[in-house]
């Protein structure tokens, strides 16, 4: 792909650039900041996961028993949602892999605003610690959606504390998005035209557009919520002429695009992994990039599909339903094109590819069940039931978390300079896949049966399916702890990675593993598209080995 010279092995890599705490906490190197994010979101992922585990234990029996009061359950699902959405899913791939890879993939030395990048991380940490403190030591019982008038007038918990934390972390999202957009526009190396951008970069670009445009609306909404709660200004209070449904409009105007922040980066990762392990170019590059941008834009006008039974007008419902069907089309393009990318490939099943294949299957199920929810006729039945819970977990956990893990394995040699144990990797990927399906598939059935979400107790006939779900969750937990353990161990015991162990074409693979602080010894020059693989060459190379 490039004319980079042979890596100068004597060059100091970014991990060796300093060992002191200060060298990490004051770094402006995008790669180190990516790792700071990785450590932080891993912490939050396991906190949110622990909450989910306790919830699943509680739901093994119809009566409340593990937790002594319904209030503790309500606080727990709020903690799970708030932490997972704002402190894991939204920053996950962008802030970790995006930070690390975006500049290298376009042949730049760093992001456009390195100090702003460090500031984003500090803002994230301040918001995160505040929210965590509030959620653990005080507790909030509104759910991550903060619906009024419950959150503004009736909840006797620290709603404002949580809202302030989420408000703060929003600025981290905005600054990261801004940084990515400017970097992509201004810092591409010689020959890196827009049509040669890796799809991962396109996905970061589309995600950043959403972050920059939607997050301010969340900030406004939370500020209004706080004003309502403190001063009773009456924007949402019908007694003062306000409208509680207005809050839902504002909230979902941010939160539905945010759902795409939680999946577009996953699309980007999968679009890198599938061509590499099929040894051929991605099918329909332009459609793939176009689909990313289409989803980012159309995603802004479907928010009302969260509100078909909220008292919104029937005609608004009709428009939002139609737009929701339409936004499914570009997602379909992506799945079809990934599938077509396997055609005439030379496919290997290494761990990243297993995650990618799992992603495509689970995302397809998650996406297609969205059609059930988009259908006006069926939505009133399944809305606010476990069907919705299953649907979005298929997309966010089956999709985004799978993509994140696939990406972490794929780029682990680059990030750490070490190889992960392949056998353990495959075992963990399989465990995650099985555990995930056992956890969430029964929830589709539960939802259609009519089990409402956010309940501490439920009708006895729902128990068997809930026990299955809880059993799956315990397998899933093992599947998540395994990579944490072997990836950490590989830092010490893993074999040293070569510059390009996957023989991949991306610019990030044309520099050392781990890369030097300045990313490239010589500025790279790009002369061809991003996925110049050859399946026939791969076959021959393998043949030579045997």
Partner 1 sequence: MWNFPLFPERASTGAHDVDFVFFCVMLVILFFLGLILSLFVTFLIRYRRGTKVNRSEPPDTNLKIEVAWVVIPLIISILLYVLATSVFFRLYRAPGDAYVVNVVGKRWMFTLQHPEGKREINELHVPIGRPVQLQMISQDVIHSFFVPAFRTKQDLLPGRYTTLWFEPTKVGKYHLFCAEYCGTNHSRMAGSVYVMEPADYERWLEVGGSNITLAKQGEALFQARHCGGCHGPSQAVRAPLLDGVYGSQVPVLREGDKVPHFVAADQRYIRDSILEPKKEIVAGYEPLMPSYRDQLGEDDLLKLIAYIKSIGLGKEAAR
Binding-residue total with partner 1 (CB under 8 A): 93
**With respect to partner 1, which residue has the nearer C-beta, 98 or 506?**
506
Phi, psi (degrees; rounded to nearest 5) at 280:
-155, 165
- Of 55, 76, 125, 86, nearest to 219 (Cα)? 86
**With respect to partner 1, which residue has the nearer C-beta, 445 or 471?**
445
Q: Note whether 456 binds partner 1 by CB under 8 A.
A: yes
Q: Note whether 141 binds partner 1 by CB under 8 A.
A: yes
Q: What angle do CA 42, 206, 348 make, to 5 degrees?
A: 65
Q: Note whether 385 binds partner 1 by CB under 8 A.
A: yes
**With respect to partner 1, which residue has the nearer C-beta, 464 or 478?**
464
Distance separating alpha carbons of residues 288 and 326, to the nearest angstrom: 16
Q: Note whether 493 binds partner 1 by CB under 8 A.
A: no
- Of 449, 472, 301, nearest to 387 (Cα)? 449
**With respect to partner 1, which residue has the nearer C-beta, 361 or 501?**
361
Q: Note whether 17 binds partner 1 by CB under 8 A.
A: no
Site for partner 1 in 392-451 (CB under 8 A): 445, 448-450
**With respect to partner 1, which residue has the nearer C-beta, 372 or 415?**
372
Could you tell me the CA-to-CA distances from 184 to 115, 121, 298 in Å, in that order? 17, 20, 22
Question: Exposed, middle or buried by CB within 10 Å (0-12, 13-18, 19+), for 289?
Answer: buried
Site for partner 1 in 294-353 (CB under 8 A): 309-311, 314, 317-318, 321-322, 325-326, 328-329, 332-333, 335-337, 339-340, 342-349
**With respect to partner 1, which residue has the nearer C-beta, 18 or 535?**
535
Q: Note whether 194 binds partner 1 by CB under 8 A.
A: no
Distance of closest approach, residue 236 Cβ to partner 1, in angstroms: 10
- Of 293, 299, 502, nearest to 414 (Cα)? 502
- Pick the stretch among 33-41, 113-121, 162-170, 356-364 that binds partner 1 (CB under 8 A): 356-364
Q: Note whether 371 binds partner 1 by CB under 8 A.
A: yes
- Of 313, 127, 295, nearest to 222 (Cα)? 127
Q: Note whether 138 binds partner 1 by CB under 8 A.
A: no
Q: What is the DSSP letter of 97?
A: I
- Pick the stretch among 32-40, 142-150, 179-187, 491-499 that binds partner 1 (CB under 8 A): 142-150
Sign of the Cα pseudo-torsion (367, 351, 487, 204, in order): negative
Distance of closest approach, residue 248 Cβ to partner 1, in angstroms: 9
Could you tell me the CA-to-CA distances from 230 to 147, 222, 237, 250 in Å, in that order? 16, 12, 13, 19
- Pick the stretch among 158-166, 175-183, 259-267, 361-369 that binds partner 1 (CB under 8 A): 361-369
Q: Note whether 61 binds partner 1 by CB under 8 A.
A: no
Site for partner 1 in 225-264 (CB under 8 A): 238-239, 244-245
Compose the 144-183 pattern: x for residues touching partner 1 by CB under 8 A, - for all others: ---x-xx--xxx----------------------------
Distance of closest approach, residue 278 Cβ to partner 1, in angstroms: 7
Q: How is residue 136 written in tokens? A: 């653990």
Q: Note whether 465 binds partner 1 by CB under 8 A.
A: yes
The length of the chain, given as a count of residues: 546
**With respect to partner 1, which residue has the nearer C-beta, 13 or 71?**
71
Bond before 375 cis per omega within 30 degrees: no
Distance separating alpha carbons of residues 189 and 515, to the nearest angstrom: 17
Biggest CA pair distance of the chain: 79
Site for partner 1 in 503-542 (CB under 8 A): 535-536, 538-539, 542
Q: What is the DSSP letter of 283?
A: T
């Amino acid at each position: 792909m490039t004319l980079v010279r042979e890596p100068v092995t004597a060059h100091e890599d970014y991990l060796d650039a300093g060992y002191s705490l200060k060298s990490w906490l004051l770094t402006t190197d995008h790669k180190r900041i990516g790792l700071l994010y990785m450590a932080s979101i891993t912490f939050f992922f396991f906190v949110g996961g622990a909450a989910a585990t306790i919830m699943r234990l509680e739901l093994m029996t119809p009566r409340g028993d593990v937790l002594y009061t319904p209030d503790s359950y309500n606080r727990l699902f709020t903690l799970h949602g708030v932490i997972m959405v704002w402190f894991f899913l939204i920053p996950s791939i962008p802030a970790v892999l995006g930070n690390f890879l975006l500049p290298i993939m376009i042949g730049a030395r760093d992001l456009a605003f390195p100090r702003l990048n460090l500031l984003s991380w500090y803002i994230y940490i301040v918001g995160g610690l505040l929210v965590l403190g509030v959620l653990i030591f005080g507790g909030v019982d509104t759910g991550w959606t903060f619906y009024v008038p419950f959150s503004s007038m009736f909840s006797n918990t620290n709603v404002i504390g949580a809202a302030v934390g989420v408000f703060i972390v929003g600025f981290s999202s905005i600054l990261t998005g801004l940084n990515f957009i400017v970097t992509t526009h201004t810092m591409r190396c010689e020959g890196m035209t827009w049509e040669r951008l890796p799809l991962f970069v396109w996905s970061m670009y589309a995600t950043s557009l959403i972050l920059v445009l939607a997050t301010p609306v969340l900030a406004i909404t939370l500020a209004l919520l706080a004003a309502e709660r403190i001063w009773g200004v009456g924007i949402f209070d019908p007694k003062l002429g306000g409208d509680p449904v207005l809050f839902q409009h504002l909230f979902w105007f941010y939160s539905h695009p945010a759902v795409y922040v939680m999946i577009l980066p996953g699309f980007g990762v999968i679009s890198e992994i599938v061509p590499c392990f099929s040894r051929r170019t991605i099918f329909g590059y332009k459609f793939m990039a176009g689909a990313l941008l289409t989803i980012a834009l159309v995603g802004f006008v479907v928010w009302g599909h969260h509100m078909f039974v909220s008292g919104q007008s029937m005609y608004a419902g009709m428009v939002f339903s139609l737009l929701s069907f339409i936004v499914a089309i570009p997602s379909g393009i992506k799945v079809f094109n990934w599938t077509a990318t396997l055609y005439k490939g030379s496919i290997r099943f290494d761990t990243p590819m297993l995650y990618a294949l799992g992603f495509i299957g689970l995302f397809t199920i998650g996406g297609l069940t969205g059609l059930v929810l988009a259908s006006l006729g069926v939505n009133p039945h399944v809305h606010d039931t476990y069907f919705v819970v299953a649907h979005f977990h298929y997309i966010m956990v089956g999709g985004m978390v799978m993509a994140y893990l696939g990406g972490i394995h794929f780029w682990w040699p680059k990030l750490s300079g070490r190889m992960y144990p392949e056998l353990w990797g495959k075992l963990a990927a399989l465990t995650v896949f099985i555990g995930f399906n056992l956890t969430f598939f029964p929830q589709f059935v539960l939802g259609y049966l009519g089990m409402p979400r956010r309940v501490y107790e439920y009708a006895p006939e729902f128990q068997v399916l809930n026990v299955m779900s809880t059993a799956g969750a315990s397998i899933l937990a093992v599947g998540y702890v395994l990579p944490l353990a072997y990836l950490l161990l590989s830092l010490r015991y893993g074999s040293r990675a070569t510059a390009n162990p996957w023989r991949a074409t991306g610019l990030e693979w044309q520099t050392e593993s781990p890369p030097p602080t300045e990313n490239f010894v010589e500025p790279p020059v790009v002369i061809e598209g991003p996925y110049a693989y050859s399946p026939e060459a791969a076959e021959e190379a393998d043949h030579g080995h045997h």
